[in-house]
Chain A
Amino acid sequence: MNEEINCNLTINEEAHQIIISELSEENIEIDYSSDINFTYLVTILTEKIDEDKKINLSLEEETTDDKLKLVLNTIKEIIELYNDNLIDEEI
């Protein structure tokens, strides 16, 4: 595990969309206007396991919206799970 993937998270509050770039060829868009579906994000992350690279997610924007806060925290925790899972297997 020599290399790392650096990706960015941005929020389009008008469109109620979270956009994660640099993780895959195309941006990952997560709609949070209603229910929030993480299936696609986890699919991309599962595929990335083959590359054996740790992921650094940059999240600069702060929010006071509880729902958005929940979503962002969940994304961060999923990325952590991903990174931990790589390390665990190495041990």
Chain B
Amino acid sequence: MKIYSDWLKIDLHLHTDLSTKTKEGDYQGDFSVETLYEKLTTNDVKIFSLTDHNIINLPAYEEYYGNHTSDEDPLLLVGVELDIEVSTNNGPKTYHSLLIFNYNTIEKAKELSEKLEEKYTSKGLDDKERKLTIEEIVDLFPEDDFFFIPHAGNTKSIISGYRENVEDAQKMVLLMQSAFEKVPEKNRQRYNEGFNRVLHEAFQAQDDIAYIEFSDNHNINQYPATHKGGADSKIHEFYYIKGSKSYETLRLAFIDPKSRIKSTNQYNEIFHLNNTIEKLKINNEPKLQNNEITFSPHLNVIIGGRSSGKSLLMNLLGTKIDKVSTENKYKINNTNILIKAKNDSGYKTSASITENLIYINQGDIVHYFEEKKLEELAIKSGKEEDYIANKTSFTEHKNEMFSILDNLISSYEHTYAIGKEKKYELHRHTIDNIFSEEYVILFDKEELECKFDKSTLIQESKELIENINKNITAFKESEILDITDDEINIIDTFSKLLEEKSLLINNKDKNNIKKSKFIKLVNTKITTKNYELSSGAQEKSHANNNLRQLKTEIKERFVKMNDLKQKSKILENFDYGMTKKININDGVLLVLEVENNEEVKKYLLDGINNSNLSKSIYLNLVDLLLEKNSIKNLGSNSSEKLKQKFIKQLEPIKNMMDSPKDYLEYEDGNISKDKSPGYNSEKYLEIILKNDNNKFIFIDQPEDNLGNRFIADTLVNILREIKFKKQIFLVTHNPAVAVYGDAECIIIAENNENIISYKQIVLEDKDAQKEICSILDGGEYIFDNRSRKYNIKRILNEEG
């Protein structure tokens, strides 16, 4: 048995053949209660009314109440369709309205019928001329509880009666807590705008004017055809209301139509949920009373006093769903506790849920911000991959910085190896020898080697061709690229070109070796020749070699120092700051950030004694090389020590890049790091609830750390918006969540002498409403507010 507010088909506008007594030819065919019952049950209608024109068909009511008394039978509420007269400047106008009474007994039907018949008799009206004014109706049924459901479409519409002062009609409908019938969907928005004009600002644009359609059937044999089932009829598309078979269900539906009234199309839309948790069966657990809990596919709320077992039930559900990783906090032996998901054939020890699911324990939300665990937020928002990818960018950026440092250290090592004592000098006799009258043979081997050595280029070209060949093979063998024969030809042509280029490069390689060898041979030859010259010439040759050697060493030093300068500059200019943004939901961004508040140079030079921050890293390193200053605490200026020191100096940056700051950036420009955990909890909750990918939501006391205004204005609206798209389970102390959220299933946890039990109630049950008030702080206030949602008091004051 379902113990939650479920959807029921309703049809409060059916005629019997007695309508022909008050309206000429108003019914088609025979009417019988048997046929009516058969048609209603076949179409699964749960609540209905027989609403003849200005008359109550007592024999039909009597037969139905006499024969159909089971709880499974459709509920018949006493009703009638009245002609209501309004005086206008153009004479009297008549409109039709259903009156549906809070009665379902033959005695009450008779009582109402007698009142009507007496009134018509006292007015001296023929059967077919019956009509009453609204004032007469109010006088006729002063103590009776009824709904006033006027026609507001094209024919016999309340609008035509009140065209000169539509506001009167609007206020009347609001006051009588009712609904409109026969308003085409395209006109409803226009009607709502009209109501907004008479409502207090706080109650405007709430989308809570009730519109509903009934069959208005005048031929039961053709049911559910509209009207008389003839050529101008169509098959009625039923409306559904949420609740149980009671008059109170109607009241709640008319108060809160957005949550409680659905057309067939709307109903079909909300029942596309793939999977839901249907039931939990508790058996033979000493701490828990045996029970079977049936959950709504929409909003399930668990309430109860302190230590009543609310969170225990949430925890139990968590331990029974394989996708949830939660510990059995209450040490319940749950082997005898079974669960059933919609997709499971029966009860199981664990429900298999494949859809995305959010499970949040009490206090978790605020901890995400207090403990800075926004990674979990990203994961629960379905952005885990984006989060990881962006975190990886920071790691890559960090690796880039250390790679630049490695290059710098390597360059420093090369210059350090030269040694600070290295002297560059030419002696007098060397200079004299260079300028002596003796002759020598000159040959600049280095110049030629520099000019002709192409070995690096050749090696690169060989690797390039090799790589292209490998890629071509993979390209040709790809299964997904659908390479055609023509394309194979193109590839083969290209491969031939590569073969030719490969031969060319091999030839160049061969020649390159020859050239290198030739230069070396010539150099040896000339050296030998110079040795054959006079001793003076040999000294000159030697002096020339010394000069050349000096030039080479100086050049080498400049090259190395320039390299050190360039590498230093790259590190000095490295911006380790980085920002990455992940779109979490509806303009809310999760930002990962490393701020560049202190330049790399500052970090590095802090590791050098007597360093000068106004000078570049390079110049400070030159001072290190010349031992004008020293690396702090390491006793040497060697490249190993420098590397050791600089790695340590960059550790704060490394740590920042390993754990970039994360915060939320909201669409209003606010960022979470400037806001309180409470504010952020609200934003967070909004994000995960609105995520369409999450098909199940479990939250233990979401209201923790949330402002009351947020709960009433935002959280409740979100719950109402999403509860038909996903199944929600909430433990709460806040009555607004249950009542304004219009929870379909309310589970009350109770603890009697350490035995915990669970009871299910529904909002449309008046006794249950009292129970909710007794359990939840502020419950009465919430119910009171809800009943005054139409600002009835203000309108009455104005009328008075």
Interchain CB contact (< 8 A) of B519 among A32, A46, A67, A88: A46
Q: Are B439 and A39 in contact (CB under 8 A)?
A: no
Q: Are B439 and A89 in contact (CB under 8 A)?
A: no
Residue of B nearest to A45 (CB): B518
Q: Are A38 and B526 in contact (CB under 8 A)?
A: yes
**Whole-angstrom distance between the alpha carbons of A37 and B445 in the complex?**
12
Q: How far is the CB of B507 from chain A (nearest CB, A)?
A: 9
Q: How far is the CB of B518 from chain A (nearest CB, A)?
A: 5
Q: Are B518 and A37 in contact (CB under 8 A)?
A: no
Whether A38 contacts B443 in the complex (CB less than 8 A), given A81-B522, A81-B525, comes out as yes
Q: Are A81 and B521 in contact (CB under 8 A)?
A: yes
Interface hits, A7-57 → B, CB 8 Å: 32, 34-39, 42-43, 45-46, 49-50
Interchain CB contact (< 8 A) of B525 among A46, A77, A86: A77
Interchain CB contact (< 8 A) of A85 among B442, B443, B518, B529: B518
Q: Are B451 and A85 in contact (CB under 8 A)?
A: no
B residues within 8 A CB of A85?
514, 517-518, 521
Q: Are A49 and B439 in contact (CB under 8 A)?
A: no
Whether A35 contacts B440 in the complex (CB less than 8 A), given A81-B521, A85-B521, comes out as yes
B448 within 8 A of A: yes
**Pair count A-B, CB < 8 A:** 69
Q: Are B514 and A86 in contact (CB under 8 A)?
A: yes
**Whole-angstrom distance between the alpha carbons of A45 and B513 in the complex?**
14
Residue of A nearest to B544 (CB): A35
Q: Are B522 and A38 in contact (CB under 8 A)?
A: yes
**Whole-angstrom distance between the alpha carbons of A88 and B517 in the complex?**
11
Total interface residues on B, CB under 8 Å, equals: 26
B residues within 8 A CB of A78?
522, 525
Q: Are A42 and B519 in contact (CB under 8 A)?
A: yes
Q: How far is the CB of A42 from chain B (nearest CB, A)?
A: 5
Q: Are A43 and B514 in contact (CB under 8 A)?
A: no
Q: How far is the CB of A3 from chain B (nearest CB, A)?
A: 16
Whether A89 contacts B443 in the complex (CB less than 8 A), given A43-B451, A46-B515, A49-B515, comes out as no
Residue of A nearest to B522 (CB): A42
Q: Are A39 and B444 in contact (CB under 8 A)?
A: yes
B385 within 8 A of A: no
Q: How far is the CB of B512 from chain A (nearest CB, A)?
A: 9
Whether A35 contacts B443 in the complex (CB less than 8 A), given A74-B526, A78-B522, A85-B514, comes out as no
Whether A38 contacts B442 in the complex (CB less than 8 A), given A43-B448, A81-B522, A85-B521, comes out as yes
Interchain CB contact (< 8 A) of B529 among A35, A43, A49, A70: A70
B566 within 8 A of A: no
A residues within 8 A CB of B331?
none
Q: How far is the CB of B514 from chain A (nearest CB, A)?
A: 5
B511 within 8 A of A: yes
Q: Are A38 and B441 in contact (CB under 8 A)?
A: yes
Interface string of B431-442 (1 = CB under 8 A from A): 000000001111
Interface string of A68-91 (1 = CB under 8 A from B): 001100100110011001101100
Total interface residues on A, CB under 8 Å, equals: 25
> Interface majority SS on B: helix, strand, loop or mixed?
helix
B447 within 8 A of A: yes
Interface hits, B317-341 → A, CB 8 Å: none
Interchain CB contact (< 8 A) of A46 among B442, B518, B529, B533: B518
Q: How far is the CB of A87 from chain B (nearest CB, A)?
A: 11
B422 within 8 A of A: no
Q: How far is the CB of A66 from chain B (nearest CB, A)?
A: 10
A residues within 8 A CB of B540?
35
**Whole-angstrom distance between the alpha carbons of A81 and B444 in the complex?**
17
Q: Are B518 and A82 in contact (CB under 8 A)?
A: yes
B residues within 8 A CB of A36?
439-442
B452 within 8 A of A: yes
A residues within 8 A CB of B441?
35-38, 70-71, 74
**Whole-angstrom distance between the alpha carbons of A71 and B448 in the complex?**
20
B186 within 8 A of A: no
B residues within 8 A CB of A88?
517
B766 within 8 A of A: no
**Whole-angstrom distance between the alpha carbons of A86 and B521 in the complex?**
13
Q: Are B514 and A42 in contact (CB under 8 A)?
A: no
Q: Are B448 and A39 in contact (CB under 8 A)?
A: yes
B residues within 8 A CB of A39?
442-444, 447-448
Q: How far is the CB of B504 from chain A (nearest CB, A)?
A: 12
A residues within 8 A CB of B525?
74, 77-78, 81
B510 within 8 A of A: yes
Q: How far is the CB of A73 from chain B (nearest CB, A)?
A: 8
Q: Are A42 and B443 in contact (CB under 8 A)?
A: yes
A residues within 8 A CB of B440?
35-36
Interchain CB contact (< 8 A) of A49 among B442, B443, B451, B518: B518
Interchain CB contact (< 8 A) of B513 among A35, A37, A71, A89: A89
Interface string of B443-470 (1 = CB under 8 A from A): 1100110011000000000000000000
Q: Are B448 and A46 in contact (CB under 8 A)?
A: yes
Interface string of B408-448 (1 = CB under 8 A from A): 00000000000000000000000000000001111110011
Most chain A CB within a 10 A radius of its CB, from B442, B522, B540: B522
B residues within 8 A CB of A43?
448, 451
**Whole-angstrom distance between the alpha carbons of A49 and B516 in the complex?**
11
B residues within 8 A CB of A49?
511, 514-515, 518
A residues within 8 A CB of B444?
39
Interface hits, B497-533 → A, CB 8 Å: 510-511, 513-515, 517-519, 521-522, 525-526, 529, 532-533
Q: Are B452 and A46 in contact (CB under 8 A)?
A: yes
Whether A35 contacts B442 in the complex (CB less than 8 A), given A46-B519, A78-B522, comes out as yes
**Whole-angstrom distance between the alpha carbons of A49 and B511 in the complex?**
7
Q: How far is the CB of B287 from chain A (nearest CB, A)?
A: 94
Most chain B CB within a 10 A radius of its CB, from A32, A67, A74: A74
B residues within 8 A CB of A67?
439
Interface hits, B300-316 → A, CB 8 Å: none
A residues within 8 A CB of B522?
38, 42, 78, 81
Residue of A nearest to B517 (CB): A85
Interface hits, B452-493 → A, CB 8 Å: 452
**Whole-angstrom distance between the alpha carbons of A86 and B515 in the complex?**
10
**Whole-angstrom distance between the alpha carbons of A74 and B524 in the complex?**
12
B residues within 8 A CB of A74?
441, 525-526, 529
**Whole-angstrom distance between the alpha carbons of A38 and B441 in the complex?**
7
**Whole-angstrom distance between the alpha carbons of A78 and B511 in the complex?**
18
**Whole-angstrom distance between the alpha carbons of A67 and B532 in the complex?**
12
Residue of A nearest to B434 (CB): A35
Most chain B CB within a 10 A radius of its CB, from A32, A38, A50: A38
**Whole-angstrom distance between the alpha carbons of A37 and B672 in the complex?**
77
Q: How far is the CB of A86 from chain B (nearest CB, A)?
A: 7
Residue of A nearest to B444 (CB): A39
Q: How far is the CB of A43 from chain B (nearest CB, A)?
A: 6
Q: How far is the CB of A51 from chain B (nearest CB, A)?
A: 10
**Whole-angstrom distance between the alpha carbons of A78 and B524 in the complex?**
11
B residues within 8 A CB of A42?
443, 448, 518-519, 522
Interchain CB contact (< 8 A) of B439 among A34, A38, A45, A81: A34
Q: How far is the CB of B543 from chain A (nearest CB, A)?
A: 12
Q: How far is the CB of B509 from chain A (nearest CB, A)?
A: 11
Q: How far is the CB of B69 from chain A (nearest CB, A)?
A: 113
B residues within 8 A CB of A32?
439
**Whole-angstrom distance between the alpha carbons of A78 and B519 in the complex?**
10
B residues within 8 A CB of A70?
441, 529, 532-533
A residues within 8 A CB of B443?
37-39, 42
Residue of B nearest to A78 (CB): B522
**Whole-angstrom distance between the alpha carbons of A65 and B790 in the complex?**
128
Residue of A nearest to B442 (CB): A37
Residue of B nearest to A81 (CB): B521
Q: How far is the CB of A1 from chain B (nearest CB, A)?
A: 12
Q: List 6 A-B contacts (CB under 8 A).
A: A39-B444, A42-B519, A49-B511, A78-B522, A78-B525, A89-B514
Given A38-B441, A49-B515, A89-B510, 4 further pairs, Cβ under 8 A: A35-B441, A46-B452, A74-B526, A89-B514
The 3 residue pairs across chains A and B that have the minimum distance between CB atoms:
A37-B442, A39-B444, A81-B521
